Structure 1
Amino acid sequence: MSQTAVKRLYMMQVGNMPQYQIPIVCYLVQMEDGHNILIDTGLPEIIPEEGSDFENGQNVTVQLASIGLTPDDIDTVISTHYDLDHAGRHAAFKEAQYVVQRVHHLDAATNPRFAATRPEWDQPSERIRLVDGDMELLPGLELIETSGHVLGHQSVLVRLPKTGTVLLPIDAVSLGKDFSRDEHADGSNPDAEAIRISTVKLLDLVEREQIGLVIFGHDQAQWAGLKTLPEYYD
């Protein structure tokens, strides 16, 4: 097996939205060569007023410590987008390179939606890798541009040696019930068409590659039955 292949995938629930029973989650991908790639970082330590629906749980650094990792052991943070519940602890990972879609990072500079998390994601430019569209980040680890939820949102594809290919749509499709070609738009969401396009893109990918496991980022019913850290998928 190549020393740069994906070795395992950990999943962590780091908080929730009690009112809607929605989990807040992060993921850790470990490579055969020892690289650690964190996907999102969860909620900030102090949740601002606009995030009052959110509630912190056991944060990402504590969960990583339980498997022997410190923040400085994280080589890369894949930032799917800069919403409060996904980029709240980016600044804790001071040795990591941050990977984000260029269009999202540039939009965030002037978009008030991401102002609360700016101290976390606004890192020195030499530590931010801006990417454009779909790409293979590392062997077995692919980024998929899925705008809609926000401009420049990215989903992640993980190719595991035993489990097979796992798709993480993140917020492109956050609930399993919405992973459908059927249109449910009522005209109230100006981003509905972009969301539909990204959903179909992911559905086509699942069919083309016969992906057996799609993990929806905020689906409490699904998360209750998944392996979570310290268990993992390999």
Structure 2
Amino acid sequence: MSQNAVKRLYLMQVGSMPEYHIPVVCYLVQTDDGKNILIDSGLPEVIPEEESEFENGRDVIEQLASIGLKPEDIDTVISTHYDGDHAGRHAAFTKAQYVVQRLHHLDAASNKRYAPIRSEWDQPIERIRLVDGDTELLPGLELIETSGHVPGHQSVLVRLPKTGTILLTVDAVPFSEGFTRDLQDDGSDPDAEAIHASTVKLLDLVEREHIEQVIFGHDPEQWEGLKKLPAYYE
């Protein structure tokens, strides 16, 4: 077994969009050699006025503390993208390397969409690892480039010893009903073609690798039935 084999996956709900009961989530991967890899960091402590539809819950720092981890114990933060409900606590992890798609990081530099939480994601470049496309971060943990929701969005594939492979679609496919080859484009979304292409890419991956567990980014019904921290998948 590889020294860096993935051992455990935790799921955390750190906030919500109360009007629609939509969960805001983060994930923690632990490896056999003791590495802690956070996937996204949830909402900022003070939610910007532009994102007032969101509400903080038990934040990522508090949840990590409940299993004995401090922010400085996080070795890597996989940043799927810099939206406010995904990158809002990035700056807390002062010892971590951030991993983000180069396309996304470069786009964010001048994109007003990410400006409200720029102080969180705009870290010193020596602490940011820019990747280009699909990337094996370590054995058992793969980044899947899934532009569409935003340029350079990335989903995450986690290979666990007992559960098998879990695909975290994040915002490439936020809800289970969108995981279909037959998405209807009514012309209202300029990113529809890219979203469809990434959805098909993930569907192909699931079929090719016989992946049984797909976790969607914000699906309230699915979320109810999943294991949440302190429980975990292994």
- Normalization by structure 2: what TM-score? 0.99
Q: SS of 2:72's equivalent?
A: helix
Question: Shift of the alpha carbon at 1:6?
Answer: 0.2
Q: Determine what percentage of the aligned residue pairs are the same residue.
A: 76
Q: Read off the aligned partner of 2:192 and give its amino acid letter.
A: A
Question: Shift of the alpha carbon at 1:52?
Answer: 0.5
Q: SS of 1:41's equivalent?
A: coil
Q: Read off the aligned partner of 1:226 and give its amino acid letter.
A: L
Matches of 2:81 and 2:88, distance apart in 1: 11
Asked if 1:52 is matched to 2:89, the reply is no
Matches of 1:2 and 1:156, distance apart in 2: 19
The corresponding residue for 2:65 is 65
The corresponding residue for 1:141 is 141
Asked if 1:175 is matched to 2:165, the reply is no
The corresponding residue for 1:197 is 197
5+ unaligned residues in a row in structure 2: which ranges?
none
Matches of 1:45 and 1:75, distance apart in 2: 21
Matches of 1:68 and 1:2, distance apart in 2: 25
Q: Read off the aligned partner of 2:165 and give its amino acid letter.
A: T
Indicate the RMSD between aligned Cα atoms, in angstroms. 0.5
5+ unaligned residues in a row in structure 1: which ranges?
none
Q: SS of 2:207's equivalent?
A: helix
Q: SS of 2:116's equivalent?
A: coil
Q: What count of residue pairs does the alignment treat as equivalent?
A: 234
Matches of 2:33 and 2:173, distance apart in 1: 31
Question: Shift of the alpha carbon at 1:177?
Answer: 0.6
The corresponding residue for 2:160 is 160
The corresponding residue for 1:12 is 12
Matches of 2:97 and 2:47, distance apart in 1: 25
Task: Give CA deviations for 1:172-198 in whole Å, capped at 9, x if unaligned.
Answer: 000001000002210000000000000
Question: Shift of the alpha carbon at 1:149?
Answer: 0.1
The corresponding residue for 2:121 is 121
Question: Shift of the alpha carbon at 1:3?
Answer: 2.3
Matches of 2:163 and 2:183, distance apart in 1: 31
Q: Read off the aligned partner of 1:147 and give its amino acid letter.
A: S
Asked if 1:22 is matched to 2:22, the reply is yes
Q: SS of 1:174's equivalent?
A: coil
The corresponding residue for 2:31 is 31
The corresponding residue for 2:220 is 220
Question: Shift of the alpha carbon at 1:153?
Answer: 0.1
Question: Shift of the alpha carbon at 1:233?
Answer: 0.1
Task: Give CA deviations for 1:78-137 in whole Å, capped at 9, x if unaligned.
Answer: 000000000000000000000000000000000000001100000001000000000100
The corresponding residue for 1:207 is 207
Q: Read off the aligned partner of 1:110 and give its amino acid letter.
A: S
Question: Shift of the alpha carbon at 1:4?
Answer: 1.1
